[in-house]
Amino acid sequence: MMPKKKSERVTIRTVAEDAGVSVAAVSKVLRDAYGVSEALRAKVQASMTTLGYRPHAAARGMRGQTYTLGVLFSDIRNPFFADIMSGVNSALERTQYQPLLGISNSGPSNELAIVNAMIDRQMDGLILVAPRMASLEASLIAERVPIVMIGHHERAATDLDTVNNDDALGAGIVVRHLAEGGHRKIAFLNIQLELAHGFLVTTQREIGYRATMTELGLGRNIHVLYAEQTVRDTQTAIKHLLASKHRPDAIFCWTDFIAFQALSVARDMGLSVPGDVAIVGYDNTTDCDLAQNALTSIDQSGQVLGLQSARLLIERIKGRTQAEHFVVTPRLVVRGSSKARSHKGADAEG
Amino acid sequence: MMPKKKSERVTIRTVAEDAGVSVAAVSKVLRDAYGVSEALRAKVQASMTTLGYRPHAAARGMRGQTYTLGVLFSDIRNPFFADIMSGVNSALERTQYQPLLGISNSGPSNELAIVNAMIDRQMDGLILVAPRMASLEASLIAERVPIVMIGHHERAATDLDTVNNDDALGAGIVVRHLAEGGHRKIAFLNIQLELAHGFLVTTQREIGYRATMTELGLGRNIHVLYAEQTVRDTQTAIKHLLASKHRPDAIFCWTDFIAFQALSVARDMGLSVPGDVAIVGYDNTTDCDLAQNALTSIDQSGQVLGLQSARLLIERIKGRTQAEHFVVTPRLVVRGSSKARSHKGADAEG
DNA sequence: CTGAAAGCGCTTACAG
DNA sequence: CTGAAAGCGCTTACAG
């Protein structure tokens, strides 16, 4: 019947008493702050271990850091995010920082709500993977908390860091690969956005697609379709495209997730891939390797992106004020879904 | 050049001054506590809105709740978890609670580290989806913080709540379905675990599989394979199985994620599904619908599980001490991967 | 129904 | 190098 929670908690004060030092000294050891002798540090650490001391994050958050980093994902279904998370985790492995995820399945307004919730919880910094977020909004958030954005090409931003692969280049690589395989009528399937700004990954991919098509003399075959990020909308768009008189030779989907839908629709319609239509995705998620998908895709090294963003964020938290913009070079991974169409040659038409 | 952060923050005190009431009164409005007049509440809320007040979660956490719920996922790649999360989100939509995810890709020891990090951050309660966690460990955690476990059949637990589908029943339904389709040599592909306890989902599925096989007179065909949760291990196990002299008619995989690998291996080996071998999964994740998968699976209503666990958790936080164990009835969704083998009849052998 | 005051467990200047 | 004291923004008894 002893009173629960009554002086049960081991605090910094308990540790201080046990070690025979001041509360301030314990705090310094806890924070790895300068100005503590090795002897004192050792004593304190011994006491912490003996007593099983755990720092109270809320209390730390009142004055200093919470050692918590927020990660915002706009979508948890896309397996690409798992790669990013794995990179974040490994970057933080031996640090005091704990990453915690917020998931916003229901669009931009929800994204802001989660960001606010993270700021309310005094998180030290945020990694935002929110491809639909407006540029202005990102700046406003950056005024309140250090942030790193993945999938936002804010090259000129000074108040926040960005981590990306070169999406325009990646899209160009895809188009070139398909053209070399004899494909001419290459369509691009993009996501429907309210505001299509140049800094968005999807827009960058579209820019790369258009530029390379033109460059290869395939300008007249440029065909961009937009669909909402729902299964129904996506499948409908693909169905229309594949049923039309001017069916494309190849469909380049802005992300694997959509490309898997395209494979499904093509199969349902009795079309062979890549015989009737080649299909290429983006992200090189693990499912691309499955034989039933065998999806050609662009590897943008999600793990590297995650790792790098966590590192940059911690640098920011520790005081860096200069912005950094990290860009990874994308890499094509060819699989069955885009094998060469024919041997008629790979020279451009017109 | 005004001093940043200097009295800039709008606190409960600012609001109190603006509204002309006491700090305690504002706190009560914030917490929806009893004993405040409508007039006072209105005044305070008006001030909050005007000043753009946001509660400081760390400060709240010092004395009361943080309104933060932790969700632990052992794996972010399995799309089933997205269903759970979607349920959790909708349950918390109109509440003050914010769910934050921790991801432990690297096994049980990491799971505990994340749970500790969540407790350190004074989260009000946790939802654990950690199929490999030991029973004792769960109890120890439950002593420190309210928890709900998904995927743990701790029917007798009094200190924590559980939310599950009836895994043994689900597995039985699969076996029955395959047997009715003329399959006799039905193998079960399970995950490799250090401790296979009866409360784990995977064990429950195996129990259901064995019992139903026996019941249908197929006891001599019982064949259980174990593989680690990695692509390489899984594929190797499946390859061995499909290449053996006594190749099964059907493989029942403990989760869709593994079943997709099985489809891939079968295809690579030139086997037709379901002609040469039928394949069935568990979870009915969205990818089952893709034509290239067309995977028969068991729907255990991930969204309902998530919704229910969030509700139960909040009840616990609000004071319920009686344990609740919620069980959903699983439902078979038949697709192409398990079409009937032949018309030789569906009667049992021997 | 309303408010003044103590205190949650830390960190941060500031003295010594 | 070490420590005493103030204070972060709330909640919680306790009085009125």
User: Has residue A115 been placed in a domain?
Assistant: yes
Q: Which nucleotide is nearest to B62 (CA to C1')?
A: C8
Contacts of A289 in chain B (CB under 8 A): 231, 264
- Coil/strand/helix, residue B52: coil
Helix (H) or strand (E) holding B102: strand B98-103
A6-24 pLDDT, tens digit each = 347 888 888 888 888 888 8
Same domain, A173 and A236: yes
Residue B116 structure tokens: 């500790």
DSSP string, B331-350: EEE--GGG----SS------
Determine, for residues A292 and B264 on separate chains, whether the beta-carbon distance falls below 8 Å: yes
Our count of domains for chain A comes to 3
Residue A249 structure tokens: 């030779």
| Band of pLDDT at residue B106, cut at 50, 70 and 90 | low
DSSP letter at A124 equals S
d(CA A346, CA A181): 6
Same domain, A141 and A27: no
Same domain, B159 and B73: yes
Whether the pLDDT of residue A265 is over 60: the answer is: yes
User: Has residue B345 been placed in a domain?
Assistant: no
Cα separation values, B25 from A251, B30, B46, B49, Å: 61, 9, 14, 16
Whether the pLDDT of residue B47 is over 80: the answer is: yes
B28-40 pLDDT, tens digit each = 888 887 778 888 8
User: Has residue B348 been placed in a domain?
Assistant: no
- Coil/strand/helix, residue B83: helix
Report the footprint of strand C: residues with C-beta closer than 7 angstroms.
A 9, 11-13, 23-24, 27-28, 30-31, 33, 53-56, 59-60, 62-64; B 20-25, 28, 34-37, 39-40, 62-63
Same domain, A324 and A213: no
Nearest residue to D5, CA vs C1'?
Answer: A24
User: Has residue B43 been placed in a domain?
Assistant: yes
Same domain, A234 and A133: no
Cα separation values, B116 from A194, A256, B83, B101, B135, Å: 41, 36, 25, 13, 17
In chain A, % of residues over pLDDT 70? 93
B172-182 pLDDT, tens digit each = 999 999 999 99
Q: Which domain holds residue A141?
A: 68-165+302-328
- How many Å lie between the alpha carbon of A61 and the closest alpha carbon of chain B? 6
CATH code: domain of residue A72:
3.40.50.2300
Contacts of A100 in chain B (CB under 8 A): 70, 100-102
User: Has residue A289 been placed in a domain?
Assistant: yes
Give the chain B residue nearest A264 (alpha carbons): B291
d(CA A171, CA A186): 12
Whether the pLDDT of residue B196 is over 70: the answer is: no
Same domain, A307 and A160: yes
User: Has residue B346 been placed in a domain?
Assistant: no
The answer to whether the bond into B274 is cis (omega within 30° of 0) is yes
Same domain, A287 and A230: yes
Same domain, A46 and A114: no
Same domain, A235 and A259: yes
Of A8, A48, A92, A121, which to mutate for an interface test with B (greatest number of B Cβ within 10 Å)? A121
Strand residues in chain A grouped as ranges (E): 68-73, 98-103, 125-129, 147-150, 161-165, 186-191, 223-227, 250-253, 278-280, 297-299, 325-328, 331-333
Mean confidence (pLDDT) of chain B: 89
CATH code: domain of residue A27:
1.10.260.40
Determine, for residues B57 and A120 on separate chains, whether the beta-carbon distance falls below 8 Å: yes
Rg, C-alpha atoms of chain B: 25
Give pLDDT, residue B350. 31
Same domain, A282 and A307: no
Same domain, B196 and B159: no
Determine, for residues A264 and B292 on separate chains, whether the beta-carbon distance falls below 8 Å: yes
**Cβ proximity of A138 and A127 under 8 Å:** no
In the block, residue with structure tokens 């406003």? A140
Give the chain A residue nearest B290 (alpha carbons): A264
When pLDDT is averaged across residues A135-140 and rounded to a whole number, the result is: 89
Residue A329 structure tokens: 């070079």
Whether the pLDDT of residue B116 is over 80: the answer is: yes
Same domain, B186 and B283: yes
| Band of pLDDT at residue A108, cut at 50, 70 and 90 | low
Q: Which nucleotide is nearest to B28 (CA to C1')?
A: D11
Burial group, residue A321, by CB count within 10 angstroms (0-12, 13-18, 19+): exposed
Report the footprint of strand D: residues with C-beta closer than 7 angstroms.
A 20-25, 28, 34-37, 39-40, 62-63; B 9, 11-13, 23-24, 27-28, 30-31, 33, 53, 55-56, 59-60, 62-64
How many alpha carbons lie under 13 Å from residue A105 in its C-beta half-sphere? 15
User: Has residue B204 been placed in a domain?
Assistant: yes
Determine, for residues A265 and B291 on separate chains, whether the beta-carbon distance falls below 8 Å: yes
Predicted TM-score of the model (pTM): 0.90
How many contacts (CB atoms, under 8 Å) link A and B? 131
User: Has residue B4 been placed in a domain?
Assistant: no
Residue (of B154, B114, B98) closest to B313 by Cα position: B98
Mean confidence (pLDDT) of chain A: 89
Residue A308 structure tokens: 């790098």
d(CA A260, CA A28): 53
Give pLDDT, residue B108. 66
Helix (H) or strand (E) holding A26: helix A23-31
Of B68, B76, B119, the CB nearest to A121: B68
